[in-house]
Amino acid sequence: MKLDTSGLESFTPFHGGGNDLCGGFSSVPSFELPSSTNFDDFQKKAMQMVKPAKGTTTLAFIFKEGVMVAADSRASMGGYISSQSVKKIIEINPYMLGTMAGGAADCQFWHRNLGIKCRLHELANKRRISVTGASKLLANILYSYRGMGLSVGTMIAGWDETGPGLYYVDSEGGRLKGTRFSVGSGSPYAYGVLDNGYRYDMSIEEAAELARRSIYHATFRDGASGGVASVYYVGPDGWKKLSGDDVGELHYKYYPVVPSSVEQEMTEVATS
Amino acid sequence: MECVFGLVGDGFAVVVADTSAVHSILVHKSNEDKIMILDSHKLLGASGESGDRVQFTEYIQKNVHLYQFRNGIPLTTAAAANFTRGELATALRKNPYFVNILLAGYDKETGPSLYYIDYIATLHKIDKGAFGYGSYFCLALMDRHYHRGMSVEEAIDLVDKCIMEIRSRLVVAPPNFVIKIVDKDGAREFAWRESIKDVGAPTA
């Protein structure tokens, strides 16, 4: 069964190398629907196919006071949770943060590399690099490794001379400037809560609570996200970690257990 | 789902593109400008893979500027189109760029022109053209209502008809579009057609 929707499928680099080139061009890009024997399984498989592959939830948004960045801390290998305490918000320099989604090693290495390049820029030009410049450096590096299997879905958030800046950069070479982004398998869930609760003129506490709540709701619904919801704030003086709450505890904070009145108590049946 | 289309009128050329940046089922952004102003009198509307689109069009833009700096005169639209096609063709058998391009320009000697350049380095000089799923709806509409020497009002009217058709008939239609125009006074943004306004930072 084929559903011809080439727009949903991003252009994948030609499979199998050069000899496959002509074959790759002639076939119409299509969206393979999963084949399975029963309907429930089909639904689950179809959902798995469209969900973003990177098992995490990260988000960042610009508001009046600066940039709020938040992420979960779960690392999963298929169905196995390998760690509940991964640092997914990477400190590039004292006024710029990067988020990690995709391959952990790829993200850590390239963010560290970006930090080096930013520092070199500072030393060479006697001024701090802008968020635009830093994200462009990273995007160009990732573009040059296009098709070689890097898996990076990151947001660069920072404060420079022009004010707060937020860019989304991924390993396909895409780079987007924006005010609200969420990346990872839990991102659709986070977007739902984030888009609805967002206002430009929020206070820092309100924004932090919105970020924390969005991460919590994503971890609730997405199996590949969980652990600790970390929230960072980037202001004119640089970044500051605001909170790191275990999402299990957040659940009971948002939905406290209400002792329900017992309607019918089980009693011993009197035997005559 | 990306739609880019354009047409040539009386002393001007117009290029229209949708403005959504999409990743599978997620819309990351609905105000992404996909029509690059190549130089003072050229527009480059591009659709395709996100990394390729930005990197390739910026590469073309910088090379067009370089020619102008080196030689003191700007490239003609035809020359820019042939250069773009040449770059796509050279990369095709090694490391292809998946970008479809509509290049519109105005030259003092030859007037407005529109070039269709697709990802396998096809080049055509055309009066009207379209890329993407929107093309299924726009092309016939443009064939029906287009005539040589349309005024700006008539052309924008046709553009609005196409946008309305895409919005009503395409299953996952992009909500917002940007319209850019190039004529003897230069290349500039003409209008946005937004049905979803992004709640962003207020402009200073």
Q: For residue B24, is pLDDT > 90?
A: no
pLDDT of residue A54: 78
Asked if A14 lies within 8 A of B21 by C-beta distance, the reply is: no
A7 and B55: CB-CB below 8 Å?
Answer: no
For residue A176, which residues of chain B lie inside 8 Å, CB to CB? Answer: 21, 28-29, 32, 50
B186 close contact with A: CB closer than 8 A: no
pTM: 0.82
Give the count of beta carbons closer than 10 Å to the beta carbon of residue A122.
Answer: 13
CA pair distance A124, B14, nearest whole angstrom: 43
Determine whether B112 is exposed, middle or buried from the number of CB atoms within 10 Å of its CB (0-12, 13-18, 19+).
buried
Whole-number pLDDT of residue B187: 96
Q: Test B29 with A52 for CB contact under 8 angstroms.
A: no
State the smallest CA–CA distance between residue B39 and chain A in angstroms: 21
Alpha carbons B16 and A261: distance in angstroms, whole number? 63
- pLDDT value of position A10: 53
> What pLDDT is attached to residue A36?
76
The pLDDT score that the predictor gives to residue B196 is: 83
Residue A264: its pLDDT value, please?
75
- In this predicted structure, the answer to whether residue B29 has a pLDDT above a threshold of 70 is yes
CA distance A262 to chain B (A): 45
Q: For residue A175, which residues of chain B lie inside 8 Å, CB to CB?
A: 50-51, 54
Residues with Cβ < 8 Å from A235, sequence gap 6 or more? A65, A66, A159
pLDDT tens digits for B98-147?
999 999 999 999 999 999 999 999 999 999 999 999 999 999 999 999 99
Q: Which parts of chain A have pLDDT scores under 50?
A: 12-27, 29
Query: How far, in Å, CA of A19 to CA of A81, rounded?
Result: 40
* CA dihedral of residues A13, A14, A15, A16 (deg, nearest 10): -130
SS3 per-residue string spanning chain A: CEECCCCCCCCCCCCCCHHHHHHHHHCCCCEECCCCCCHHHHHHHHHHHHCCCCCCCEEEEEECCEEEEEECCCEEECCEEEECCCCCEEEEECCEEEECCECHHHHHHHHHHHHHHHHHHHHHHCCCCCHHHHHHHHHHHHHHCCCCCCCEEEEEEEEECCEEEEEEEECCCCEEECCEEEECCCHHHHHHHHHHHCCCCCCHHHHHHHHHHHHHHHHHHCCCCCCEEEEEEEECCEEEEEEEEEHHHHHHHHCCCCCCCCCCCCCCCCCC
Res A52: pLDDT: 62
Dihedral sign for Cα B194, A189, A48, A81, please.
Answer: positive
In tens, the pLDDT along B44-93 reads 999 998 899 999 999 999 999 999 999 999 999 999 999 999 999 999 99
Is A139 in contact with B51 (Cβ distance < 8 A)? yes
- Cβ(A55)–Cβ(A64) below 8 Å: no
Residue B43 above 50 pLDDT? yes
Closest Cβ opposite residue A174 in set B50, B120, B172: B50
Q: Burial letters for B32-71: b for 16+ Cβ neighbours within 10 Å, e otherwise?
A: bebbbbbbebbbbbbbbbbbbbbbbbeebbebbeebeeee
pLDDT in tens, B145-166: 999 999 999 999 999 999 999 9
